[in-house]
Chains A and B, each alone.
Chain A
Amino acid sequence: MSNAVAAPKKGGFLAGTANYLDERVGVAGILKDFGRKVFPDHWSFMLGEVALYSFLVLLLSGTFLTFFFQPSMIPVIYEGAYGPLKGAEMSIAYASTLDISFEVRGGLLMRQVHHWSALLFVAAAGLHMLRVFFTGAFRKPREINWVVGFVLFVLGMAGGFTGYSLPDDLLSGNGLRIIDGMIKGLPVIGAYTSSLLFGGEFPGEEIVARLYGLHILLVPALILIFIVIHLFMVVIHKHTHYSGPGRKDTNVVGYPLMPVYVAKAGGFFFIVFGVIMLISATFTINPVWNYGGYDPSPVSAGTQPDWYIGWLDGALRLAPTGIETVVGGYTWAWNILLPMIVGVGFLIVVALYPFIEAWVTGDKREHHVLDRPRNAPTRTAIGAAGVVFYAVLWAGAATDLIATNFKMSLNQVLTSMQILLIIGPVIAYIITKRTCLSLQRKDREIVLHGRETGRIVRLPHGEYIEVHEPLDEYEQWKLVDFKDYAPTLARPNAAGKITLGARIRAGLSRFYFEDRIAPVTQGELDAAHHDHAPAVEEKPKKAVAAKKTAAKK
């Protein structure tokens, strides 16, 4: 760094430190490259940050908890502070969880911080994924980062579940019981895998310590690594931005890292932490003392996993009756395998979606300007269908609570969910797609003829018209700046053959783009303005005609 070499040391302590660091790690170069990096500003861009900060809070509160928690399943007699468990036999893990809650000042607070932030971590990550999906932020060059983010979401579920199982109370023990049952249901390896995992028969005295190792070392380490990769790629790609005047695929518009973004993002960490702290100080989460130590005989009504595992539990509940089969003396537990296949299949589709869409569109360009969800109707509709599918499975895990709270029959709720799981996504797809297309048509209308003002004017020759207010060019740009695709036909390849792949691709491109609304072109805009010399006027009849041309693919 030439400046560091040349500049004699002057100024105070700060300058001295800066000089010291620069001469050793080249901090000036780093600041020069990154100090004024631009980040676009939008509330929905902060969801990933929420997940990141929740994770930091998890690390901090989790480290505190490790100082007191003992992951041992050796039975002890509890003689701590909580009255209704005094003298009860329980594992050391559960007893130490009770001690954290009742005998460590701030211990219960930290347990609640840890648990609430775990729920928030996965929720924020999930919502961030939805934002990325519905705005098309996963398109080239970010497909790999989508997969990295997906892995983070799955790791979040794994971290959550391993943590949920640690207190060794009745709730977590029954959760493990279900996992044991699912593992046993695997063809061929089921019983062996269960025995390896639990160190013999369920529940054994090993599982809590083993999950603890995963929970405090392996899973967080993996999450950290993937977060680093995730953020590294964000730096490489620079953040996407929403379409707007001056925002292009070739630039990024926003605020510089220093000072605005450092203050905003840094302040936001404290805000997220503060909100988690506020909730943890005031709302109980997982009152383990209510459940008692794990015992395989009792169970509590309303035994459910944390929300992010709920959809898998729901899948288990919604499996039809009596689908287990025995072939040649060996059991195929389809009532377990089918939900697993559905769950894993759903995750695979989510992970691969960017590649599927890229293949269909064949668009190899880089995309940095986000789509408004309405401008990609098929993608948005697919996303809505996926959300409904997931939501039904999720609600499936709460059939009993839905039944009691809304005074319905448990059996009818469950059967309705089974039906809804199949038809819900289809309905969501159709409604969403139609809604998107309507919104796009409305956008076209607004661009071509301006906004309705509700002011009715009588013209000299007696005709009544509603005055339409034209858009300024900045507003107008937001409504016309989107990517438009047209379906393709299956074309023969170099050898003159129409391959199966080409056929599928053609079919998919029809599925995606058969119904489409093109953005308004300058020609159309000029024509619309030309038609009605004072641009504020519009005749309803003409509007219908324009709509028809717009709807034409």
Chain B
Amino acid sequence: MAFMKNKGSRRSPFAAVLVMAAGLALTGGGYAAATAAVDQVKPVSAAASAAQIEEGRKLFLANCASCHGTNAEGSAAAPSLIGVGAASVDFQVSTGRMPGQASGPQLEKKKVQFTQEQIDAMSAYVASLAPGPAIPSDEAIAADGDATRGGELFRINCAMCHNAVGAGGALTEGKFAPSLKGVESRHIYEAMITGPQNMPVFNDANLTPEDKKDIITYLKFVEENPSAGGYELANLGPVVEGLFAWVFILGLIIAITIWLGAKSN
């Protein structure tokens, strides 16, 4: 194996650094162009104007207060939003999960109900109530980190629910961890820092901003690169492969055996 070296053997300490740098250039560079479009959406600046906050408050009263309370203090139907931060509002509203509609095991992604401007205003309003996680900067979510590290962190912290390549998975009582395919980097980041619904919070002490960037880099690599082996079977693992083998391969072969056994005319 020309490309492997025994851990115990002589190896330049710079080799790994070099390889990582190469990996970074390869994965990050290729991806920068793709994310540029996504990042066009301007996040709320730290210093939101009073007018924007006021606009947000109005929108909040009109659309959210019936559950979350007129002062966002929460109610039996919905949690308090004091201290959840702009990131939480941005995640919930701009993925369409909020305002919530159907009562089910969990809120699902749906059509977004507001313009980005309105979402920014509401975010600014909620952020003004108490300090909380802010919407990440373009720099924080750029997929130019270390995909190897990101992959390892993803497997340790996320894959148990979201599957090793983010295809999603089941939780208890009808809840589920959604697929991460096609989810914007900003939303991935916001989900990690705010812990929407039953997802735990991954604060900066747990996964540093750099860790989060690496995780996004890994996810984007997986999303951008089609499987080396051909069509993917939804990346759901051996169950789908088994079904495919039974239905399609064996099915095709049985069709052939029927042709083979039929008399020619």
Check A-B contact in the complex, CB < 8 A. yes
Residue positions of A touching B, CB distance < 8 A: 41-47, 50, 70, 74-81, 83-89, 92, 95-96, 99, 101-103, 108, 112, 115-116, 119-120, 123-124, 127, 170-171, 264, 268, 271-272, 275-276, 279-287, 289-292, 295, 297-308, 310, 397-401, 403-404, 407-412
Q: Which of B42-50, B92-100, B236-244 makes up part of the contact surface?
A: B236-244
Q: In the assembly, what is the distance between CA of A254 and CA of B249, in Å?
A: 27
- Interface residues as binary, B31-71 with A (CB distance below 8 Å gives 1, 0 otherwise): 00000000000000000000000000000000000000000
List the one stretch of B83-91, B113-121, B129-137, B172-180 in contact with chain A. Answer: B172-180
**Which of B5, B22, B159 is in CB contact (< 8 Å) with A298?**
B159
Binding stretch for chain A, among B74-82, B191-199, B202-210, B220-228: B220-228
**In the complex, which of the residues A81, A304, A399 contacts B237, with contact meaning CB atoms closer than 8 Å?**
A304
- Whether B183 is near chain A, meaning CB under 8 Å from some CB there, is no
Q: Is the CB of A85 within 8 A of B232?
A: no
Check A43 against B241 for contact (C-beta < 8 Å): no
Question: Is the CB–CB distance between B231 and A282 below 8 Å?
Answer: yes
CB–CB B245/A307 < 8 A: yes
A43 contacts B254, C-beta separation under 8 Å: yes
Are B155 and A403 interface neighbours, CB within 8 A?
A: no
CA A383 to CA B30, docked complex, whole Å? 56
Contact of B170 among A42, A88, A401 (CB under 8 A): A401
Known A-B contacts A108-B229, A298-B156, A401-B170; the reply to A74 vs B6 at CB < 8 A is: yes
A interface, by DSSP: helix, strand, loop or mixed?
helix
Residues of chain B contacted by A287 (CB below 8 angstroms): 227-229, 232, 235
Q: Could you jot down 6 A-B contacts, CB within 8 Å?
A: A46-B261, A79-B3, A86-B22, A88-B152, A301-B169, A307-B243
The 0/1 profile, CB within 8 Å of A marked 1, for residues 231-265 of chain B is 11101111111111110111011101110111000
Q: Which of B11, B151, B237, B256 contacts A302 (CB 8 A)?
A: B237
B229 in contact with A284 (CB, 8 Å): yes
A43 to B254, CA, bound (A): 7
Q: Which of B154-192 contact A (CB under 8 A)?
A: 155-156, 159-165, 167-174, 176-177
Q: How far is the CA of A120 from the CA of B162 in the complex (A)?
A: 29
| A-side contacts of B243, CB under 8 Å | 307
- The answer to whether A43 and B257 have CB atoms under 8 Å apart is yes
* Contact call B1/A404, Cβ cutoff below 8 A: no
- Inter-chain contacts of B167 with A (CB < 8 A): 301-302
**Do the beta carbons of A76 and B222 come within 8 Å of each other?**
no
Bound Cα distance A302, B243 (Å): 14
Distance (Å) between the CB of B137 and the closest chain A CB?
Answer: 24
Is B230 a contact partner of A284 (Cβ separation < 8 A)? yes
B174 pairs with A116, CB closer than 8 A: no
B20 within 8 A of A: yes
**Contact partner, A283, options B6, B233, B242, B250, Cβ 8 Å:** B233
How many Å lie between the Cα of A95 and that of B4 in the bound state?
7
What is the number of residues of chain B that contact chain A, defined by CB distance less than 8 Å? 74
Closest chain B residue to A103 by CB distance? B3
Q: Are A301 and B159 in contact (CB under 8 A)?
A: yes
- Could you tell me the distance between the alpha carbons of A108 and B244 in the complex, rounded to whole angstroms? 19
Q: How far is the CB of B155 from chain A (nearest CB, A)?
A: 4
Identify the closest chain A residue to B19 (Cβ): A86
B 1-29 contacts with A by CB, 8 A: 1, 3-7, 11, 15-16, 19-20, 22-23, 26-27
Task: Find out whether the CB atom of B1 lies under 8 angstroms from the CB atom of A291.
Answer: no
> Would you call A85 and B229 a contact (CB within 8 A)?
no
Q: Pick the 4 closest A-B CB pairs, nearest first.
A: A301-B169, A307-B242, A284-B229, A119-B245
Contacts of A83 in B (CB 8 A): 23, 26-27, 147-148, 221
Please give, as numbers and ranges, the residues of chain A lying within 8 Å of B252 by CB-CB distance.
275
A459 to B56, CA, bound (A): 88
| Shortest CB distance B153–A (Å) | 10
Contacts of A45 in B (CB 8 A): 261
Known contacts A43-B260, A86-B148, A101-B228: A403-B233 contact under CB 8 Å: no
B160 near A307: Cβ-Cβ < 8 Å: no
Decide if A43 touches B1 in the complex (CB within 8 Å): no
- Main DSSP-derived SS at the B contact region: helix
Cross-chain contact B261 with A290 (CB below 8 angstroms):
no
A280 to chain B, nearest CB (A): 8
Q: Taking A119-B241, A283-B231 as contacts, is the C-beta distance between A77 and B163 under 8 angstroms?
A: no
Task: Please report the C-alpha to C-alpha distance between residue A50 and residue B176 in the assembled complex, in whole angstroms.
Answer: 39
Q: Is the CB of B163 within 8 A of A302?
A: yes
User: How far does the alpha carbon of A305 sit from the alpha carbon of B241 in the complex, in Å?
Assistant: 10
A302 touches B221 (CB 8 A): no
Apart from A86-B20, A284-B229, 15 more pairs, CB < 8 Å: A79-B16, A83-B23, A83-B26, A84-B218, A86-B19, A86-B22, A86-B23, A99-B1, A101-B229, A103-B3, A171-B238, A268-B257, A275-B249, A310-B242, A403-B174
A465 CB to closest chain B CB (Å) equals: 36
| Complex contacts, B6 vs chain A, CB 8 Å | 74, 76
Are B256 and A292 touching (Cβ within 8 A)? no
Contact A75 B238 (CB under 8 A): no
Query: Quick one: closest A residue to B219, CB to CB?
Result: A84
A88-B151 Cα distance, complex, nearest whole Å: 10
Q: How far is the CA of A42 from the CA of B262 in the complex (A)?
A: 8
Cα A264 to Cα B256 with chains together (Å): 12
Report yes or no: B253 in contact with A275, Cβ–Cβ below 8 A. yes
> Which listed residue (A41, A47, A85, A292) contacts B164, Cβ 8 A?
A292
Given contacts A279-B249, A307-B243, contact A77 B238 (CB under 8 A): no
B250 & A268 in contact (Cβ 8 Å cutoff):
no
Q: Contact between B174 and A409 (Cβ–Cβ < 8 Å)?
A: yes
Closest Cβ–Cβ distance, residue B79 to chain A (whole Å): 23
- Which chain B residue has the least Cβ–Cβ distance from A122? B245
In the complex, A123 Cα to B233 Cα: how many Å?
Answer: 19
Contact B222 A42, beta carbon cutoff 8 Å: no
Asked if A306 meets B261 with Cβ closer than 8 Å, knowing A79-B19, A401-B236, the reply is no
On whether A291 and B164 interact (CB within 8 A), knowing A42-B261, A81-B3, the answer reads yes
From A74, A75, A123, give the contact of B245 (CB < 8 A): A123
Contacts of A101 in B (CB 8 A): 228-229
Chain A residues with Cβ under 8 A from B156's Cβ? 295, 297-298
Give chain B residues whose Cβ lies under 8 Å from the Cβ of A401. 170, 236, 239-240
Q: For A42, list chain B residues within 8 Å (CB).
A: 261
B15: nearest chain-A partner, CB-CB: A79
Task: Among B4, B169, B254, point to the contact of A80 (Cβ < 8 A).
Answer: B4
A307 CA / B246 CA spacing, docked (Å): 9
A170 to B230, Cβ gap below 8 A? Answer: no
Across the two chains, which residue of chain B brings its CB closest to A400?
B170
Among B11, B20, B162, B229, the most chain A Cβ lie within 10 Å of the Cβ of B229
- Cβ 8 A contact of B249, one of A88, A116, A291, A398: A116
How distant is A48 from chain B, measured CB to nearest CB, in Å?
Answer: 11
Instruction: Report the bound CA distance from A295 to B164 in whole Å.
Output: 13
A116: B residues at CB distance < 8 A: 245, 249
